[in-house]
Chain A
Amino acid sequence: MNEAYRYFLIFLGALLIYNILLIRFIALCPLMGVSTQVETSIGMAMSVLFVMTMATTVSWVAWNYMLKPLHVGEFLYIPVFILIIAALVQFVEMFIRKSSPPLYRAMGIYLPLITTNCAVLAAATESVKPGFLKLNVAYHFSLPEALVYTIGVALGFGVVIIVFACIRERLETSPVPHAFKGAPLAFIIAALLSLAFMGFANLLGL
């Protein structure tokens, strides 16, 4: 397989075909929590992209140069990765607060939430352990591949959360059955969107 085509497939797979929210159900809590307004959704999507890319880079290095050579990866990877993510979030928060106050005001409140965003841990775990993609069933990602994969996952998260927020803003004013008001309706929308994303299945043999 051509090298560039490989990267393209990894990216597309992570972004659309195995979309992290609608096809794999990871990170639904932020989807339900912050997707009530378009503006906050954009803030969340940006923060996730930022933290996720950094977390995967650090986790990949930690796995390949520390955990694997020492043969402790199998039982230490969960605490190590989650601590990496928690520390990174804290560090990024302090850094942004000092260097760019406007950006901090835009992203600030979402940053602490990202620690418990399952998507970050999932992306970090899957970049080092053979995962779900047909491309890497028995094969470990190299660092650039892991990065491409993570950016795809994060963009997939962002696209869906923004589309979702647009629909929900419209629904605020429309008449719906009483029992379905609020969260149940959000799940119905998710079901329809998920149905749409299923159309990507088997695209390019993925």
Chain B
Amino acid sequence: MNEETTGWQEFRKGFILENPLMVLMVGLCSSLAISTRVENGIFMGLSATFVLVFSNIIIASIRKWTPDQIRIPIFIVVIASFVTIVDLSLKAYFPPVYERLGVWIPLIVVNCIILARAEGYAYRNTVWNSFMDGLGMGAGYTMVLLIMGVIRELLGTGKIVLFDKQIISLGPFNPPAIFILFPGAFLTFACLMALLNRYKMRKKE
């Protein structure tokens, strides 16, 4: 395999084959909690992708000088620095979004996706591949967030509001509020996973 195809494959695998949420089942907490609105999904996905890409780059570039015994604390410090950057920039430029996402921004530090990629991928691979891997994983994460956000916001409130503008409306009907409440998150996610399972089984046959 030459260098370019590997990079592209690294990017692509985060989408379906190794989608962090649906297949690896890491980083579930944040995705269920904040997917009540599409807008939240966009900001959360971008923040996580930013942290993922940059922490992957840094960890991959210092991997030769990282002692094996203390690698986990080093990873965590690298990740925590980027999360702090996101935390403070969101607070400064998008205060309403920051308020809605709340404790989930500091919790990106312990989002299993990022530590799992640092430990499982970036620590053993080149900078370029780690960059693509972080980008792919982040894109896969954002994609699932957006799908969940669209389903839940559309069914739960009857319309999708993006940056104070109404995009889609289902017309006058009484939306079942359960979809934006807590059980709706679990139900939506369970159905998405079941769909993916069915798709895989069909493919096998």
A residues touching B (Cβ–Cβ < 8 Å)? 22-29, 32, 74-79, 82-83, 86, 115-118, 121-122, 125-126, 131-132, 177-181, 183-188, 190-192, 194-195, 197-198
Contacts and interface: CB of A to CB of B under 8 A. Distances in A.
Given A25-B30, A179-B197, 9 more contacts: A25-B32, A32-B25, A83-B77, A115-B72, A116-B110, A118-B111, A121-B107, A187-B193, A194-B183
Would you call the interface of chain B mostly helix, strand, loop, or mixed? helix
A166 B194 CA distance: 23
A64 B88 CA distance: 21
A86 B73 contact: yes
Contact of B181 (A26, A76, A198): A198
B33 A191 contact: no
A16 B185 CA distance: 19
Contacts of A26: 29, 33, 103, 107
A189 B81 CA distance: 37
Would you call the interface of chain A mostly helix, strand, loop, or mixed? helix
Contacts of A192: 183
A195 B181 CA distance: 9
B197 A25 contact: no
B29 A79 contact: no
A29 to B, nearest CB: 5
Contact of A29 (B25, B72, B73, B198): B25
Contacts of A191: 183-187, 190
B87 to A, nearest CB: 7
Nearest to A187: B190
Contacts of B112: 29, 116
